[in-house]
Amino acid sequence: MRIPRVKLPDGSVRQVNPPWSGKLSGFTLLFEAFVLLLCREMPFAGVARITGVSVHRVMALAERCVNAAVGAADFSEVRRLAIDETSRAKGHDYVTVFADEPGRKVIYVAEGNEAATVEAFAGNLRTHHGKPTEIESVSIDMWPAFIRSITENFPNAQITFDKFHVISHASTAIDEMRRREQKLDPSLKGLRWTLLKDRRKLSRAQRSELDALLAHLTSHRTARLAVPGAAARDPHPQAAQCGAHPPQAMVHERAALEGRTDERGRAADPQALRGHPRVGHLAAD
């Protein structure tokens, strides 16, 4: 189809801009929508092969549309956040992802995983009509930089630890304590996976071994540490009856393993995790 040209009063000639033209020269809106739909499902190289467009033009189209969508985003209704960092290359090269938890939608991505990264997001939230003081809860891992920066930038937010990271730390502490105690109590040898696996996945014999160990809470630190770990994975009655709060109990025992306790046996750094005034419960799956 030939697009008509018009001559303006000043003598210049301009091509008419039809309503169905896309953001890039030579593309229609429908074709661009098709390209963007493919970009959601496959790499840019695959989109280029299917559409016959160069990879560079596919990337340019995606970048332009994403920038337009980000610029028009409205975060005024955001109240609950989920924050996590991920490695984008070998080594310690991280990016941090911020998501609207109820909507399960990414709203901000930034390089790094430091306190300044969270502060930069707070500024971006204000730019898009959001208010840091209206954020009610933030789900994070146990990275101290995130805890500190959230406390400073989101004063009313309740901090919730990601369940995956809590269980990971608890499992490490349980196994380390078991290794120490089995030197004096050979009965603990071979119980590693009985202690670490989900109770629902244990065999009848393994459940019996676990119940026998949990019956000796006063004489085995491994048993005391296994209770909050089991409650985090599967709150069965024996774990629930002890009333242990998984993050607090885990931090206490982990601190004891690493020698970071005071003369009363308390964690030496309570402000980081245990006892923090803004730290809430475990995040759900």
Distance CA 136, CA 82 (A): 11
Domain boundary assignment for the chain: 5-71, 80-161, 163-282
CB-based burial label for 131 (10 Å; 0-12, 13-18, 19+): middle
What does the block give as tokens for 232?
């985090």
Q: Which segments in the chain show pLDDT lower than 70?
A: 1, 22-25, 216-285
Q: What is the pLDDT of residue 70?
A: 87
Res 7: pLDDT: 82
Residue 42 region, left (φ>0) first, then alpha (ψ -120 to 50), else beta? beta
Query: What's the rounded Cα separation, in Å, for the pair 250 and 225?
Result: 7
Tell me how crowded residue 269 is: count the other CB atoms within 10 A of its CB: 14
pLDDT of residue 283: 54
Q: Which of 160, 225, 163, 237 is nearest to 196 (CA)?
A: 225
The domain made up of 80-161 has a fold known as: Nucleotidyltransferase; domain 5 (3.30.420)
The Cα–Cα gap between 173 and 33 comes to: 51
DSSP sequence for 46-106: HHHHHHT--HHHHHHHHHHHHHHHHHT---TT--EEEEEEEE-SSSS-EEEEEEETTTTEE
Q: How confident is the model over 224-266, as pLDDT tens digits? A: 666 655 555 554 444 333 333 444 444 444 444 444 444 333 3
pLDDT at 48: 94
Cα-based distances in Å from 277 to 132, 169, 176, 280, 282:
18, 21, 29, 8, 15
Measure the CA–CA gap between 218 and 205, rounded to whole angstroms.
Answer: 23
Residue 20 half-sphere exposure, CB side, CA atoms within 13 Å?
5
d(CA 146, CA 83): 9
Q: Is the dihedral of CA 206, 208, 214, 218 positive or negative?
A: negative
pLDDT for res 230: 56
pLDDT confidence of residue 229: 54
Which of 171, 177, 280 lies closest to 228 in space, CA to CA?
Answer: 171
Q: Please give the Cα distance from 232 to 251 (Å, whole number).
A: 13
Q: List 86's β-bridge partners, or say none.
A: 95
What pLDDT shows up at residue 103?
Answer: 86
* Separation CA 106–CA 103 (nearest Å): 9
d(CA 104, CA 14): 45
Per-residue pLDDT, 125 = 94
